[in-house]
Structure 1
């Protein structure tokens, strides 16, 4: 009961401090508000960016790696002149891996053809064409709104069937069902067997937006678009019990070296690329942005902390006589200390809450395809930083008030 009464009195004193000089208090708390806004806003935007990019990375497969000609470069020297001489993966290498891999749960081959016109009568659309093998849906999800995925006979026999994105379906077949309809791709007729679920705009779409993509069997793709130098990607998915995909990667490396006739001392002339490596590189970039947010916000919070300390020193001076009366009536030093410290924390929290509210308003501002979300973690972070600033700013004035001599304090004018 005594503790609750103390909290009530501290709240009352904090409110009086706010009311006594609105302009002075507002200007003093402005630094905390700006600082908390800067830190929480940077954290919120960085978290939103990171979540968007990692969601896009997860769409290209989880627990998988890619066998490709070119390695994904994330820092360090990129020896492109060496990679340029490496041979591209081939369909025969995919079949070799498919037939011999024991540590993989799925193996697929795929390739892309950008900006290709698909037509239905007078309606046309510039689509991203992706050729995939039968097991591709075990590597990466292909969520369908209508229709079905490829049958094995269709991918083996190069049937002219396609799974199209929602945007393509809207343009080619307006106001009608697209499933079962026929359209033209590179002069050939294809039948729509499935329509992907609408994803909408994303900040980053690794592998292309599914709304704008037309997926066809890899065998059909190879006949139409790989008459020159094919450069497909081989995708391997490991088993869940193979942590880090160590076993399946070692098996793939061994089989690829055997297929290409590499000698024991020869280095690999192919790349093993992992999506999580890209995610780690993204996290590194965002760590720098987060640090920048801390630095920018810290300067504002420092100014705000001095402002709160100034209010507390003034408050102690104005209530010196009252402190003396409280002590003469039996108030302990810790009670006076807690009273002023609590007041400082309350003042700082007011500034922090205003800063967090401004970040909340920021989430309603349209930022293109980026969806900004204020998470509970960032709210707790803002309140926590505000509380720490309040404690640091109020500890010295509170200690001064707690150590006052009651007789001297009562005589003060």
Structure 2
């Protein structure tokens, strides 16, 4: 069957080329549209560090700064992780590798179960539950720090020194194509570096927590946090004041307009291409009416003829899809600087592959239906006489 299909392509090479070009234009426009939509969604989430409905900010001021507080602070943080992921963000910058010129903002983090979003990782992995259970000295560093410390990328031997302790670098955070708030930040598991809180005897009487919870019930989250604080501090001389804050939902009208506009443009191009492809397919199939009519006269079933034509169309569409995705892949390589300046990433992802493959198959089937129907209604003798 494959040999017959290749022979048909060779006999109708010009039509196949035009069909392929049509598919390439349509699938490429659709795939780039998918990349634009994906980038818009990522940018929206990055700007709010995740889903705003699941994020609570807790600013806790302790009125007493003593040993009792230091003894209980670890228990407080550990208990809050029962609600969700905890990040402590109001910490001072620290020297990296004991270099006065190389400092970074530090975020202590801890969770017992991964939340529905985490900081984007360019290379390596995000923390997992075992990192916290086993008190592993691991860190995630921002891409600007990684460029300075590990210009060739990270491996199993990539480590940084913080407070005279060696930490293995397991991931690089940020986005390859644009700047983010994580580019100069180091994330450290709380239980391996809790002394950074510096609760005892220094200037720090407060902590700011970012809570990323599964629950979107704000009253429930507030109640759980205050209950934990009350329980842990009830037998001490420590007291506290707490303020809860929430990230406001962004005005998503611009994001929606961008997605709608992208879908409209890509969809319009795709519809035009499908119409042209149908016309080209009609010409291609009608041009083979002699071959098809001979098959019918020799007893070939209509279902077999229809199947072979659809398979040929899908193969052309799939081959065109591969070319379109390859073109999309090399675009950011050729225009790397220009795309970086506008912060756009169009490198194909799994979404592009799946979406393009689905569209290629659908277009291959649709573009075959009209000419097949017309061809099947033709009388073989009449068709041969006019061939």
Question: Structure 1: where are the runs of 5+ without partners?
Answer: 69-87, 150-164, 171-176, 181-190, 259-267
Return closer, same or farther for 1:411/1:168 CA change in 2, 3 Å cut-off: closer
Cα RMSD (Å): 5.4
| TM superposition score normalised by structure 1 | 0.56
Rounded to whole Å, the distance in 2 between the matches of 1:412 and 1:358 is 42
1: CA distance, partners of 2:288 / 2:149: 74
Determine the structure 2 residue equivalent to 1:345. 314
Q: How does 1:285-364 map to 2 (within 5 A)?
A: 291-362=260-331, 364=333
Aligned to 2:57: 67
Measure, in 2, the Cα distance between the counterparts of 1:382 and 1:329.
38
The residue aligned with 1:262 is none
* CA-to-aligned-CA distance 1:148-187 (integer Å, 9 cap, x gap): 86xxxxxxxxxxxxxxx778989xxxxxx9859xxxxxxx
Q: How many residues align?
A: 322
- The CA distance in 1 between the partners of 2:283 and 2:186, in whole Å, is 62
Relative to structure 1, the CA distance from residue 282 to residue 12 in structure 2 (aligned partners, 3 Å threshold; closer, same or farther) is farther
Larger Rg: 1
1:13 maps to: 8
SS of alignment partner, residue 60 of structure 2 = coil
How far is 1:218 from its partner?
A: 2.5
Alignment of 1:147-296 (within 5 A): 192-195=164-167, 197=169, 199-200=171-172, 202-203=174-175, 206=181, 209-210=184-185, 217-219=196-198, 223=202, 232-235=207-210, 244=215, 249-252=222-225, 270-273=243-246, 291-296=260-265
- Kept in 2: contact 1:34–1:355 (CA 8 A): yes
Q: TM-score, structure 2 length as denominator?
A: 0.59
Report 1:83-162 matches (<5 A): 89-92=60-63, 104-105=80-81, 110-113=89-92, 124-125=100-101, 127-130=103-106
3-state SS, counterpart of residue 111 of structure 1: coil
Distance change in 2, residues 1:314/1:237 (3 Å): closer
Name the counterpart of 1:72. none
Q: 1:29 to 1:284 in 2, by over 3 A?
A: farther
1:358-377 equivalences in 2 (<5 Å): 358-362=327-331, 364=333, 366=336, 374-377=348-351
Partners in 1 of 2:322 and 2:136 — Cα distance? 51
Structure 2 CA distance for aligned equivalents of residues 351 and 125 of structure 1: 52
Residue in structure 1 matched with residue 238 of structure 2 by the alignment: none
